[in-house]
Amino acid sequence: MRTLACIAAVSLSTCMAGVSAIAEIVAPAPSAAAGYTRKDVNITYVAKQDGFVVAKLVAGSPWRGVYATGIVDGEPVAEGSAADNYLDGVISTYQDTFTFPVRKFSTWSVASTTGAGGVEVRWFQFAK
């Protein structure tokens, strides 16, 4: 599987350090058997394998504004927001997504205090 952005870093450790590669790198494939697992917002998990999290934010009734932060080992590493405004002349983005890598044995969560019901979290575990 070919990946982009941070996941395409030379290794997961350099990705976590914020160094990304320009060249295309083949990364381990997410487990074909597991695919992804839905997870809950505002719950801290421990990664049993290297993997990554995808968070999707969708604003709409009743959550007009949605904000979430991806956290690894207590540090914020990604964030996103979405708003659903029905006002003339107001530009809003009703959907947003963000992705972040997680190393084996790290703790991680997607935290949201605003519109948590509009946040979907998916965990992708790399094959062993």
Residue 38 lies in a domain: yes
The tally of domains found in the chain comes to 1
Cα distance between the two ends of the chain: 15
Residue 21 lies in a domain: no
Tally helices (H) and strands (E) across the chain: 1, 8
Residue 15 lies in a domain: no
pLDDT beyond 80 at 109? yes
Contact 58/66 with Cβ under 8 angstroms? yes
pLDDT in tens, 70-91: 999 999 999 999 988 776 777 7
Rg (the chain; Cα; Å): 16
What pLDDT sits at residue 9? 39
The reported pTM is 0.70
Taking residue 13's Cβ as centre, other Cβ atoms within 10 Å add up to: 12
- Residue 94 is part of which domain span? 29-125
